[in-house]
Amino acid sequence: MANIGGMQIDWPEPVWCYAAALLAACLLAVYCWAKAKPTLYVVDFSVFDPLDSWKFPKAMIRKVAEANNSNPHAERHVAPEHIDFMCRLAERTGLGDETPVLPETHLGDITMAGTALARSEFSRTCITTAEALFNKTGIRPQEVNFVITNCSLFNPVPSLSAAVINHFKMGHRTRGFALGGMGCSAGVIALGLAQDLLQAHPGSLALVISHENICNATYTGCDPSMLISNVLFRCNGAAVLLSSKRHHARSAKYCIQHIVCTHMAADDEAYGCVQLTEDDARITGIKLKQELVPVAERALRQNMQDLGPLVLPAIEKLKFAASYVLRRLVKSGGVLAGVLPGGLVERQYIPDFKKAFDFFCIHTGGRGVIDALEKHMRLSRKQVEPSRAALYRFGNVSSTSVWYDLAFIEAFQGVAAGQRVWQLAFGSGFKFNSSVLVANRHIADAAGHPAWRGFDRQAMWQALDTLEAAAAAARAAKAARLKQQQPSSCVAQ
For the residues 176-203, what does the mean pLDDT come to?
A: 97
Task: Identify the three-state secondary structure at position 169.
Answer: coil
d(CA 82, CA 60): 14
Q: How many CA atoms lie within 13 A of 373 on its CB side?
A: 27
pLDDT score, position 151: 98
16 has pLDDT over 70? no
d(CA 169, CA 25): 47
147 has pLDDT over 90? yes
Q: Which of 40-44, 116-120, 483-487 has the lowest mean pLDDT?
A: 483-487
Superfamily of domain 41-337+353-473: Thiolase/Chalcone synthase (3.40.47.10)
Average pLDDT, the chain: 89
178's enclosing H/E stretch is: strand 175-180
| CB distance 198 to 244 below 8 Å | yes
3 has pLDDT over 80? no
For the residues 464-481, what does the mean pLDDT come to?
A: 88
* Alpha-carbon separation of residue 413 from 250, 287, 295, 451 (angstroms): 21, 36, 33, 15
The structural domains of the chain, with segments of one domain joined by +, span 41-337+353-473
DSSP 360: E
Give the pLDDT confidence of 208-263 residue by residue, as tens digits: 999 999 988 888 888 889 999 999 999 999 999 999 999 999 999 999 999 999 99
Give the pLDDT confidence of 343-385 residue by residue, as tens digits: 555 567 788 999 999 999 999 999 999 999 999 999 999 999 9
For the residues 323-347, what does the mean pLDDT come to?
A: 63
Q: Which of 32-41, 232-241, 373-382, 477-486 has the lowest mean pLDDT?
A: 32-41
pLDDT band at 465 (very low <50, low <70, confident <90, very high): very high
pLDDT band at 38 (very low <50, low <70, confident <90, very high): confident
pLDDT score, position 406: 99
For the residues 59-72, what does the mean pLDDT come to?
A: 85
Task: Identify the three-state secondary structure at position 265.
Answer: coil
Q: Which of 83-92, 303-312, 339-348 has the lowest mean pLDDT?
A: 339-348
d(CA 392, CA 110): 23
| CB distance 321 to 345 below 8 Å | no
Question: What is the pairing mode between strands 284-288 and 274-278?
Answer: antiparallel
pLDDT score, position 482: 82
Task: State the sign of the Cα–Cα–Cα–Cα dihedral 481, 486, 491, 493.
Answer: positive
For the residues 95-111, what does the mean pLDDT come to?
A: 83
d(CA 261, CA 238): 20
CA 471 to chain CA centroid, nearest Å:
27
pLDDT score, position 1: 53
What is the pTM (predicted TM-score) of this model?
Answer: 0.89
Q: Which residues pair with 443 in a beta bridge?
A: 415
The closest of 390, 359, 392 to 459, measured between CA atoms, is 392
Give the pLDDT confidence of 250-305 residue by residue, as tens digits: 999 999 999 999 999 999 999 999 999 999 989 899 999 989 989 999 999 999 99
d(CA 232, CA 422): 24
| CB distance 353 to 312 below 8 Å | yes
d(CA 287, CA 466): 30
How many CB atoms lie under 10 A from the CB of residue 177?
A: 18
Task: State the sign of the Cα–Cα–Cα–Cα dihedral 303, 307, 309, 315.
Answer: negative
114 has pLDDT over 50? yes
pLDDT score, position 357: 98
Q: Which residues pair with 274 in a beta bridge?
A: 288
How many CB atoms lie under 10 A from the CB of residue 318?
A: 11
| CB distance 439 to 36 below 8 Å | no
* H helices present in 123-223, as ranges: 128-137, 160-168, 186-200
pLDDT score, position 36: 54
- Cis ω for the linkage preceding 85 (within 30 of 0): no
493 has pLDDT over 60? no
- More confident of the two residues 475 and 34: 475
Question: What is the pairing mode between strands 41-47 and 359-362?
Answer: unpaired
